[in-house]
Structure 1
Amino acid sequence: MLKKERHDFIMRQINLHNRVLTSDLVQLLNVSEDTIRRDLQELVDQGLLFKVHGGALSKSYHSSFDDSTVYARDSKIIIAKKATSLVKDGMVVLTGGGTTILEFVKQLPENLEATFFTLSPLVAVELAKYNNVEVILIGGLFSKNSQITYGGHVINQLSEIKVDLCLMGTSAIHPEEGLTDTDWEINQLKKAMLAASKKSAVLCISEKLDISLRLKVCSIESISYLITELDKNDEALSRYLVKNLNIL
């Protein structure tokens, strides 16, 4: 594979999953670890990503929220606008982090009266702009990779609450394999978020459909809503038409 092809592949993985591991790229591209390290450094030098120990992070995901660097932002805005229809006055809502969730917060009605628990300091800052929204940031260890709090302390706090709706992004979703991820800590965190919620909504761009990663979060039957930028009758969503799952 040519270097340009490797770089394009790496950037697609970054854009879809917000982060990549060097070890995964070595296997996926069937090249040496030194080659991947050089590729990542060249992409860093071009200002396209952040290199961290063991891999790399999306530039938009790792910085303060900068609209100009958000991948597939138009699609994420469509998703965000759909998701706001689920939030009503008086609700208690739990959110994860990520660029799609941040777009969702920006689309909320100005006079919304609700309580939001969040694991993301960036999301908390955006929510604080709403006068009638109470914001509760769940504290714990802070993940430099995912930009959210995590760990046993966070999971314990989640076990003590019950929210009306949980909104989260995902690295991958598949009709048979369900929601999956590559990070063990984030995987456990998402399970705890779902357990704390009466209903759940997964917000993801359609490019993440039909992808399965190594760690399972839950089956798609465990999700209340799947929200993409596609029309709900789009053929790409036909395999996700299962009992109890509403597609927006």
Structure 2
Amino acid sequence: MLTLQRKQYLLEILERDGQIVAKTLSEQLGLSEDTIRRDLRQLAQEGLLQRVHGGALPASPALAGFTERQQISADAKPAIGRAAAAMIQPGQVVFIDGGTTALQLVRQLAPTLRATVATHSPSIAVELVSHPHIEVIMIGGHLFKHSIVAVGAAALEAIGRIRADLYFMGVCSLHPEAGISTGDFEEAGVKRALSDAAARTVVLASPEKLDTASPFQIAPLSQVSDIVVNTGVAEALIAPYRKMGIAITLA
């Protein structure tokens, strides 16, 4: 089997099974694990999959730029935003992440809601300017342009001085084995700090993020209290999280 044919076969296996196990595949094809790993490494460099220990998982479409991400799961995100907004109680202090799904969340907040939102996303802060009763705390730092959020030491210091009731986390990827992950090392650290500083972490998971992986793990799934997903998601995709004791909200 030529290299190009082998890589195409790997992608077909990934699409069919949702994962590649290098050892199993090497035995099936009669090739060394090193050959399979080299192919996976090259496919990962092309952005066609995400390497994980022992094999590979699908790469998340959420690694695309902000403008492109606005077009992905455009119908699902407003529903997820509405369900998440309904979780906020009057008087609470809430962390809201950056991202296109979080933007839908703040657009769904009731005009009568009185609460405090702390965010490292300029887009979220600007969206809340017209809300009559939401106090906004801006967390500053170095602007990570891909996600339009602040990262770095200044952001981490500010987060450490706040204790929130809820944190609505946007992720690039969610997988029962690989956990919650994103595409940037510093952004992963900020999300982890936000989760550590909140009593409850709620993951906003539009359909394209499920069963995918990104390069940098944010936190173990044991740190997640709730996951909000679209009603059209197959039960098989969310059943592993239910077994972990994570509350699933269908939007």
For 2:208, the equivalent position in structure 1 comes to 207
1:99-149 residue CA offsets vs partner (Å, 9 max, x unmatched): 100001001111100000001111001112111110111111111121011
Measure how far apart 1:232 and its partner are: 8.2
Measure how far apart 1:203 and its partner are: 0.3
For 1:172, the equivalent position in structure 2 comes to 173
For 1:48, the equivalent position in structure 2 comes to none
For 1:158, the equivalent position in structure 2 comes to 159
Q: 1:236 to 1:28 in 2, by over 3 A?
A: closer
Q: Secondary structure at the match of 2:102?
A: helix
Q: Secondary structure at the match of 1:73?
A: coil
1:191-216 residue CA offsets vs partner (Å, 9 max, x unmatched): 11111100011101122111122321
Task: Give, as a single letter, the amino acid of the residue that structure 1 aligns with 2:140.
Answer: G
Measure how far apart 1:233 and its partner are: 8.1
Number of corresponding residues: 197
For 1:13, the equivalent position in structure 2 comes to none
For 2:59, the equivalent position in structure 1 comes to none
Q: Distance in 2 between matches of 1:233 and 1:73?
A: 18
For 1:191, the equivalent position in structure 2 comes to 192
Could you list the runs of 5+ residues in structure 2 that have no partner in the other structure? Answer: 9-42, 50-62
For 2:150, the equivalent position in structure 1 comes to 149
Q: Distance in 2 between matches of 1:244 and 1:181?
A: 23
Q: Distance in 1 between matches of 2:140 and 2:222?
A: 30
For 2:72, the equivalent position in structure 1 comes to 71
Larger Rg, first or second structure (1 or 2): 2
Does 1:108 pair with 2:109? yes
Q: Distance in 2 between matches of 1:184 and 1:140?
A: 15
Greater shift, 178-187 or 225-234, is seen at 225-234
Task: Give, as a single letter, the amino acid of the residue that structure 1 aligns with 2:206.
Answer: I
Q: Distance in 2 between matches of 1:210 and 1:188?
A: 22
Q: Distance in 1 between matches of 2:47 and 2:92?
A: 45
Q: Which 4+ residue blocks in structure 1 deviate beyond 3 angstroms?
A: none
TM-score, normalised to structure 1, is 0.73
For 2:130, the equivalent position in structure 1 comes to 129
Q: 1:154 to 1:235 in 2, by over 3 A?
A: same
Q: 1:60 to 1:124 in 2, by over 3 A?
A: farther
Q: Secondary structure at the match of 1:197?
A: coil
Task: Give, as a single letter, the amino acid of the residue that structure 1 aligns with 2:203.
Answer: V
Q: Distance in 2 between matches of 1:226 and 1:88?
A: 18
Q: Distance in 2 between matches of 1:190 and 1:242?
A: 24
Contact 1:232–1:247 at 8 Å: present in 2 too? no
Q: Distance in 1 between matches of 2:200 and 2:222?
A: 12
Does 1:59 pair with 2:59? no
Q: Distance in 2 between matches of 1:93 and 1:129?
A: 18
Task: Give, as a single letter, the amino acid of the residue that structure 2 aligns with 1:28.
Answer: L
For 1:118, the equivalent position in structure 2 comes to 119
Aligned-residue CA RMSD in angstroms? 2.4
For 1:92, the equivalent position in structure 2 comes to 93
Contact 2:66–2:147 at 8 Å: present in 1 too? no
Q: 1:129 to 1:242 in 2, by over 3 A?
A: farther
Task: Give, as a single letter, the amino acid of the residue that structure 1 aligns with 2:67.
Answer: K
Task: Give, as a single letter, the amino acid of the residue that structure 2 aligns with 1:168.
Answer: M
Measure how far apart 1:182 and its partner are: 2.3
Q: Distance in 1 between matches of 2:170 and 2:158?
A: 20
Contact 2:90–2:113 at 8 Å: present in 1 too? yes
Q: Secondary structure at the match of 2:76?
A: helix
Q: 1:178 to 1:56 in 2, by over 3 A?
A: closer
TM-score, normalised to structure 2, is 0.72
